[in-house]
Structure 1
Amino acid sequence: MIKSIFFDVDGTLLSFKTHAMSEKTKEALEEARKKGIKLFIATGRSPKTFEIVKKTLGFEFDGYVMLNGQYCVVEDKVIHSMALPKESLESIIPYLEKEKISCEFVELDYMYTNFVNERVLELRKFLGSTFKPTPIEDPRRSLENETYQLCAYINEDEEKDYFENMPKCRAVRWNKLFVDVIPSEGGKGVGIKKMIDYLGISQEETMAFGDGGNDIEMLEFVKIGVAMGNAGDNVKKSADYVTESVDDEGIYKALKKFEII
């Protein structure tokens, strides 16, 4: 029996076309909650940027797995927190400057960019009102402040060289323009495990919805992993079931199919 469901945000709960959650999805979530099912967010976004999304969703979840699993909160209590290693940040900064790579540095309550290029502008246009421009800062700020994630504007061909210069870290990608850089031992699957262990929910009682490359580990970890119809082929292959797209009420239809609602 499913007792908890984890939802990615961008491309899963929120449409990239409307930048909103459909009323049908909201009705489905409310019906699942009435049955006693715990509902969670599992996103790459930080607490700071998620505040914008939270208003857009208009729905209060039972807990939040943020920063791709590096920061987990339930009932206003932090149950898991994992920042990027300082030595990894110290190693990558000269490389960013040498190769002129734009990168966003994500703290819990602050986010900044070393510089803006065309890839950054393209992503901001893609995300629309769910993302606000970040200030320009010296990346060496990260050596003094806890940094949980980097958003490095590199393509797949550039990943190998990048991570040779940033040990103890790895990439999770949901967009061709950039990768989320997280600790090697992190990820949404890890964050979900921390959450269910804390709440006393078994892995057999979990379900998740996602559409991006950063959702693959999550979909493989839970009992029922559902890929959205708008997900990439690699995401669909990792799922137990592929539903319709976010713009065709994929969440509602999958919850009906599995008799969750």
Structure 2
Amino acid sequence: MKAVKDIKDIKMVAVDVDGTFVRSDYTYDVPRFKRILERMDRVGCRFVVASGNQYYQLRDLFPEYYDELAFVAENGAFVKDRTELVFAADMPKETVDAVIDVCREYPEISNVLCGMESAYCQRRTVSQEFFDLTAIYYHRLKWVDDFKQVKDRILKFAPTVPEEKTYEYYDMFCERLGGLVEPTTSGHGSIDLIVPGCHKASGLKRLAERWGIAPEQCAAFGDGGNDIEMLQYCGHSYAMANAPENVKKAAKYVCPSNEEDGVLDVLEKMFAQAHPDNEK
């Protein structure tokens, strides 16, 4: 692991959440992170939460200070700078219906429709157990009778498939829905179907341009396939030790795993000179 020598070069830090920023029990060292965030603020560096998860779930990880952060949620389909909405995808109705029709052909797909106001599960197609598990990641989640009747701005779909068939279904979506949606996956049976070109890197680019920051001034941390674009976009990129090889190859450096608080370890070193005790 190589540390950045001059923190003045880093103006944005983007972190994935699952498998990256939080431990497996969904905790992180809050006091330690707050100290690091204060140091970042002292040198004018922005912190961005970049995840495939829902914005309402992500902000609940930072209950006292989420309005101080920026979010690239839903794999780039929802971008917020503190209290201001920067971007929200708007999947065309024809595309929404096409995805629904394809997924209905495969009963083992458990689908989630992700809207701007809420996420949705369709009755009679998924179990209450699936709904309850999904609610851990989507803090605004509703039952509906028919996806095609949902009145909301649609950001993406989040189908869950048998884990051992993840890449089989990934290829199927590419073949049957290519051009309409872009599949992305972090593995483990989770696939997101997003608006083409709308990924984490696109969200970071929107924020970077808004703030006048170059890619070379950005650092990113990730562990999954849906992090590859942002790792390639940022000048300083870190794959977690728990990441698969294709993600490590996309990053410049490898840092300790999420269970070892790898992100905080790197950031603590990166912004050590911003500590008040180091000021003359």
> Structure 2 length normalisation: TM-score?
0.81
Can you list the C-alpha shifts for 1:214-234, whole angstroms capped at 9, x where unaligned?
111101101101112222222
Partner of residue 194 from structure 1, selected from 181, 198, 206: 206
Aligned counterparts of 2:242 and 2:250: Cα–Cα separation in 1:
14
Partner of residue 103 from structure 1, selected from 97, 100, 111: 111
Give the drift of 1:21: 1.4
User: 1:52–1:131: 8 Å Cα contact kept in structure 2?
Assistant: no
Quickly say closer, same or farther: Cα 1:59–1:74, change in 2 above 3 A: closer
Task: Report the AA paired with residue 203 of structure 1.
Answer: P
User: 2:50–2:200: 8 Å Cα contact kept in structure 1?
Assistant: yes
Aligned counterparts of 2:129 and 2:247: Cα–Cα separation in 1:
23
Match of 2:170?
A: 159
Matched, 1:225 2:237: yes
Number of aligned residues: 255
> Structure 1 length normalisation: TM-score?
0.86
Aligned counterparts of 1:260 and 1:224: Cα–Cα separation in 2:
17
Quickly say closer, same or farther: Cα 1:132–1:202, change in 2 above 3 A: closer
Q: Which runs of 5+ in 1 are unaligned?
A: none
Match of 2:81?
A: 74
Aligned counterparts of 1:196 and 1:87: Cα–Cα separation in 2:
32
Match of 1:64?
A: 71
Q: Secondary structure at the match of 1:103?
A: coil
Aligned counterparts of 1:102 and 1:54: Cα–Cα separation in 2:
29
Quickly say closer, same or farther: Cα 1:103–1:21, change in 2 above 3 A: same
Give the drift of 1:243: 0.4
Instruction: Please say which structure displays the higher CA radius of gyration.
Output: 2
Give the drift of 1:199: 1.0
**Mean CA deviation greater in 46-55 or 107-116:** 46-55
Can you list the C-alpha shifts for 1:169-226, whole angstroms capped at 9, x where unaligned?
1112123122011111111111111111011111111111111211111011011011
Q: Secondary structure at the match of 1:152?
A: coil
Aligned counterparts of 1:214 and 1:199: Cα–Cα separation in 2:
24
Give the drift of 1:34: 2.5
User: 1:243–1:251: 8 Å Cα contact kept in structure 2?
Assistant: yes
User: 1:119–1:153: 8 Å Cα contact kept in structure 2?
Assistant: no
User: 1:46–1:107: 8 Å Cα contact kept in structure 2?
Assistant: no
Match of 1:145?
A: 152
**Mean CA deviation greater in 30-39 or 149-158:** 30-39
Match of 1:49?
A: 57
Q: Secondary structure at the match of 1:140?
A: helix
Sequence identity percentage: 24
Q: Which runs of 4+ in 1 moved over 6 A?
A: none
Matched, 1:11 2:22: no
Match of 1:116?
A: 126
Partner of residue 221 from structure 2, selected from 209, 234, 238: 209
Task: Summarize the alignment of residues 81-92 of structure 1 with structure 2, pairs less than 5 Å apart.
Answer: 81-92=88-99
**Mean CA deviation greater in 62-71 or 44-53:** 44-53
Quickly say closer, same or farther: Cα 1:107–1:140, change in 2 above 3 A: same
Q: Which runs of 5+ in 2 are unaligned?
A: 1-8, 274-280
Aligned counterparts of 1:235 and 1:252: Cα–Cα separation in 2:
19
Q: Secondary structure at the match of 2:142?
A: coil
User: 1:41–1:61: 8 Å Cα contact kept in structure 2?
Assistant: no
Quickly say closer, same or farther: Cα 1:136–1:63, change in 2 above 3 A: same
Match of 2:189?
A: 177
Aligned counterparts of 1:173 and 1:82: Cα–Cα separation in 2:
18
Q: Secondary structure at the match of 1:197?
A: helix
User: 1:25–1:251: 8 Å Cα contact kept in structure 2?
Assistant: no
Aligned counterparts of 1:3 and 1:51: Cα–Cα separation in 2:
21
Aligned counterparts of 2:65 and 2:254: Cα–Cα separation in 1:
26
Match of 2:4?
A: none
**Mean CA deviation greater in 6-15 or 23-32:** 23-32
Match of 1:245?
A: 257
Aligned counterparts of 1:201 and 1:133: Cα–Cα separation in 2:
33
Aligned counterparts of 2:272 and 2:243: Cα–Cα separation in 1:
22
Q: Secondary structure at the match of 1:106?
A: strand
